[in-house]
Every structure is written in structure tokens, then in C-alpha cells.
Structure 1
Amino acid sequence: MKLNIQNETSRLRVVVLGTAESCGPTPKVEDCYDPKSIQHVLAGTYPREEDMILEMEAVANVFKKYNVTVFRPDVLKDCNQIFSRDIAFVIDDKVFKANILPDRDKEIEAIRYVWNKIDRKNRIILPEECHVEGGDVMPWNDYIFIGTYTGEDYPDIITARTNIHAVHAIKDMFPYKKVKAFELRKSNTNPKENALHLDCCFQPIGKNKAIIHKNGFLIESEYEWLINFFGKDNVFEITKDEMYEMYSNVFSISEDVIISEKNFTRLNNWLRKQGFTVEEVPYAEIGKQEGLLRCTTMPLTRD
């Protein structure tokens, strides 16, 4: 299989979509990886498997409509395999195995059949000290945007997923790209003060537009850099509540077509005014785990 991912919005041809089948019982608080999941466990509102299966099938149907080839993970019993972007990502013609939380290594095995279709020289496993998840990595033509956290308390922050070692390793692998890292705001306890990944507070769309949440960035000048890069008139700024609902975590099928959550009324109206076709799907239950459309999809090939 030939991989090709140069950016977030070129026409999608091949993608891995996670699965909610056999995702296991409601976790205990101590087994949760993020503050939003903890919040829903404590409130008794953690999403049910049957509801999440329906939501993911709605996305699968949109992919079918646009003739996208879709791979799904092998189903592992009682294992949450919804967020395929966490476990691997593609830059150019190379697929990277994410160095993720140790408990989640078996999720990689569930897409081994996809991994094995790729030329061996293009399968990359970074050194052990490089922590990285796909939600923090965004190829954008000449650039690679990466979300990171370099605070001294990094080892204690369960929501810090990509470290500076990974940033440097990716920079070394792509000397012809400009790698731009962004310090993200992290919280183990408050989901409204936590950007779990870069795509939880920012995402490029179309040819020159972006969705962004200022408070997701720890350093204001890095947020300002993005505003200047895209141009203020091309940026849709989201509120803290909208970031919590995952407004920036949409998914582009092409420069003109975006899959978005059906309740994102303010965003979806703006997108249509900008000329986008918006494919609305129900995804609010999956959103309770602090991930949404980009998190559940891992593109392999775009035109």
C-alpha cells in the first residue's frame, strides 16, 4: 500500500476508522486517561457501547458515500479501540507507530494487518524515549505542526502525550519540512482547562482556514503565530465550552467537505457560509471520552 499524507484536507482515499465493538464496561476512575471521561464516570453518564457503535457507523456511511476505502481494527474483547489516531499516524509516505500509554499497545496489534500492507522501510518505530500520539501531529504542506508539553511535571500529567524528544525525532526525519511545536495547556482534573492533543484546540480546514481555541495554548505568542499564519478572517475561534464539546475535532474528507458533529450549530453554519459541504453526524457520546472525529480516524492516503 502506498501512503501519502501531506496535509489535513486533500481528498481522502484510504482511512482507518476505529471501532466501538466490545469496548468493555464503564471504566473505574483510576483507569481513565483523561478528565472528561472521569467526569462522566462519576456522573453516571459514561457512553454506552451500542450508542457509540451507531455513531461510528454514521461516519462509516459518510465514507462510503464519498468512495473512501475504510479499514477497521480487528475487534479485541473488552478493549476500547475507538481512537485510532492515538495509535499511529502518517506523514508523507511513512507510518509511525505511536509510543502510547503502555496499556494500549495491544490496540496496535489489532491493525497489524494494515501495517503489514505497508513497505517495511516506511514503517517507523521511534526510540522509546519519544512519546507521541497522532492527535498531536498535523502535517500541513511545508509544515508539520506538533502539540507538546515540556513542563517539569510532565511525568505526572496523564494528559501530556507528546514530549520534546518526539518533536526532535520528527524534525530529524523530515529536514525538508518546517516543524513547529506548540506548548499545550494540560490538566488531569479539569477538562475545560485541558487540551489533550493539538487537535483538541486547533485544526486546519480547507486550503487556508482553521478552527482554534486560544486557551488551549500555554504560550500566547504561539497562538498568535497561528492567527497570523492563517489570517484572522480565516480563523473560527471557539469558546472554552465549545472546546470542551470538541468543536475543533472535525474531520476533512477534502478541501470542500467536512464531517462535523450535528450539534455544532455555530460552527456548522459558519462552515457552510465559507462554502464547505458539512456532513453532520451524531458523535456526542464518543465526545464524552475527550475525543471526536479526528481522533477516531487515521488517514493513510490523500490525493
Structure 2
Amino acid sequence: MSGRRVAVHAHPQLPGLALVDAHFVEQHFPKHSHDGYSIGVVRSGVNAFWHRGGQQHAIAGSLCIVNPGEVHTGDTVTPQGWSYFNLLVPELLLQTSRATLDLPAQTLHFGQSVVADAQAATALLVLGQAMLAKDSPLAVEQHWLELCGVLLSRHVSERAALAPVSRMPRQVARAREVLDADLLGQRSLSELAALCHVSPFHLVRSFSAHVGLPPHAYQLQKRLEQAKARVQQGEALASIAAATGFADQAHMSRHFQRQWGVPPGQFAPLRSQPQNRKNVQYR
């Protein structure tokens, strides 16, 4: 893993947003999704990832964009690995910024996994450098809105990102409702399938086909997102682990490493610093 470097940065003017500044050499992110948007610019190398049923390759200077809830992976394909600035953007922040820019109200769904747009890439790089340099709130917010202006005016698609629950098979919608309502539940697959009136095999196959993850992975994903949100609020890590269904803090940390490439402490607390949280790097 020589050369691996990951640091997370934030700014109080952009609540909930996290900038991941990373260089990965031997990294594999398994299938997962995010509650918000993942918007990155590749600075060197190639970011390979599976998304929307196919393998994608983002080269240096291009953007890699994943909408909320979309399942994807992440891999290295060259010995040199890849480096990027990647923004984890809450849906509310992007919607608020759209309104600030006076752009038309619409579903903010990006239609392409990999985007070649030099102006957008430059805008993201400028924002990332400003956050790393702990620039003033005025400068950081201006750079963020400039990035939003380019992205939202050029790359938003009118097509909905995911099929609504109403279009899912009834048993899949029911299983998701049960899992969402009780993330800490310890139901077996057989018990969940019985609630949905299907066989365990049929539930796994149908759920995976429509949600993108099997039920256990979906539940873990939701627990991780809930844990990250609580970390961002500054809660104690051990308490968060217990409250979100992990055996202990070490168990939670291992899953954070798999999901985001960093331990949970990198996200805590995102809003407590005057301008930008401390620059802690993991190699």
C-alpha cells in the first residue's frame, strides 16, 4: 500500500460536505452507495469503478459522479493507482445551492458516470485547493457556487435516478420499509422473507436486482450512513458504534475503512473548526 494517502476536509460554510483528498495505490471499494452525491475529479492515474451495470474509467482531468443511492465500486487498474479530490455532498446542500443560483427547480440527477468538462474539473480543483489552504468563508463559498453553476447547468438530466418505491415489486418495497424502520433489527433472512411472503432465495434475488445490494448489505450501508452523520455531529465513537448496531468501535472502524477508505474519526467533527478541520493524513 506504499504511497497511499487519505485526508478529509470540511468547511462550516458548506454544512455536511466532506472533501476527500486521496491517493490510492491498491484499493478496492466493494459495492456500496451514498445517501448524498459523490462528485470527484481525478488528478492523476485512472479511477476504475463499476456503476450502472458497466465498468467506468475516469482518467486524469475528468469527473466521476454518482447520484444518491446508486450502487458502485472503486478500484485501481494501474500500478501507480489514482489520486483525486472527491466531494461527498448532501442532497439538501445541493438543492439549497441550486436555489441560491436561481436555477430551475428539478430533480438533481446527473446523467453520466464520467464527465469530460475542463471548466467543471478546474472549478472542483480550485474548490479543493481552497479548502486545503483554509481560505476564507467568502472564497470557499464562491468557489463552491461556481462549481455548482457549471455542474447544474450542464450535466443534470431530467431522468429520475432511481425507480420510486411504487415501481418496485411489492415484496422488495416491503423489505426495504422493514429495514429502514428498524436498522438495528436482528431479523434473519428467513424472518424478513416471511414478512414479505416470499422465499428467502426469491427475496435476495429480487431485492438485489431492484436495489443493487442484497438485504444484509443494504442494512449495513444504512447503518454506516447513520453512523457517519452522528460522527459529524461530534458524538463519541464508542457510543455511535453501540447505537448503530456495530459490535464495538473497532468493528465500526473496519467498515468505515472499507466504505470510505478512512477511519470514522476523519469525519469528526466536520463543523467544529473555525474554517477547516485539521488536516490529518493516513498512509
Please confirm whether the aligned pair reaches a TM-score higher than 0.5, indicating the same fold.
Answer: no
TM range (shorter): under 0.3
Normalised TM-score (structure 1): 0.25
More helix by proportion, 1 or 2? 2
Q: Which has the higher contact order (CA 8 A, sep 6+)?
A: 1
TM-score, length-normalised on structure 2? 0.26
